Structure 1
């Protein structure tokens, strides 16, 4: 099947009906303010799409202004370390023509203690998943060792909105 240049909203009902994607379990595991939207099997792992929890309200991202947005200023962290191998697979999986809707705030590959998540600080509207790759590669190249790493990039331009983007082992906490 070829899903390029289709939105998740267009593909998701068919994917669920055919069993390619399955609906997510009920709100989850202590991830503050986010719930699982849907899960897509990718090789030996699952790719999990996280959205704002009902009633939490979407965090408004900063609109583009005169400040320096698009610079992807990277800061590394020693906490919330994610596997280098899983993050490599996540970044490669994002480099498609698939569009994600307004709701996702995080996409994770892997399971529980062995996952890598790309997350961003606010709603940015519908965009291609591949828009997340540039900052993720910058974080990865700066912050990851042969085994693991974690970091964020400030002043990331996603869909003409300035956000912070994170690459770590958790779907939440990117601000």
Structure 2
């Protein structure tokens, strides 16, 4: 089971940001998302990467506001596709938690942590619709729920009916920044 204390040492190593790249790259990533920006974490501990929809007529619209009591159950479904490394996901969840009220720009739909090295591994938290005024901390509860229910079984997963600041969304935890539906 994931707990914040399980990655205290990891957090100590990645607490700051060493380099930020804000130049979007034109190439698309798998699915419909494209690279937006990346932050190289200190001590060569990995890279935090933001992916979003390419600006076009087919870009996802902002999520629909919630109907009263329509969302917040965060129902989890596990899957054997695109299974992430649990240690990397624990680090990503801690980074999101520590980012707290750090705003996520409206266009990103995925944040990934990639650890460098010969056996590079990645974990991504992805959500289904743009959410205005989204702070990183709002991604933590559903990511933690998927982490606790799916990753111990060696699976990736998604949570449906996630309340992200009043927008009902689907949120995934996997090794890819693909759109979450």
What's the TM-score, normalizing by structure 2? 0.78
Cα distance between partner residues in 2 of 1:48 and 1:62: 26
Structure 1: give runs of 5+ residues left out of the alignment: 1-18
2:33 touches 2:179 (CA, 8 Å); kept in 1?
no
Per-residue deviation, residues 89-133 of structure 1 (Å, max 9, x unmatched): 000000123111211100000069611000001111121101000
Give the match for residue 65 of structure 2. 63
Give yes or no for the alignment of 1:105 onto 2:88.
Answer: no
Cα distance between partner residues in 1 of 2:90 and 2:166: 26
Please point out which of 153, 161, 171 is paired with 2:167. Answer: 161
Please point out which of 76, 79, 83 is paired with 1:77. Answer: 79
1:86 touches 1:116 (CA, 8 Å); kept in 2?
yes
Structure 2: give runs of 5+ residues left out of the alignment: 1-17
Cα distance between partner residues in 2 of 1:38 and 1:172: 16
Give the match for residue 93 of structure 1. 95
Say what the alpha-carbon RMSD is for the aligned residues: 2.2
Cα distance between partner residues in 1 of 2:40 and 2:173: 20
Give yes or no for the alignment of 1:119 onto 2:126.
Answer: yes
Larger fraction in strand:
1
* Divergent runs of 4+, >4 A: none
Larger fraction in helix:
2
What's the TM-score, normalizing by structure 1? 0.81
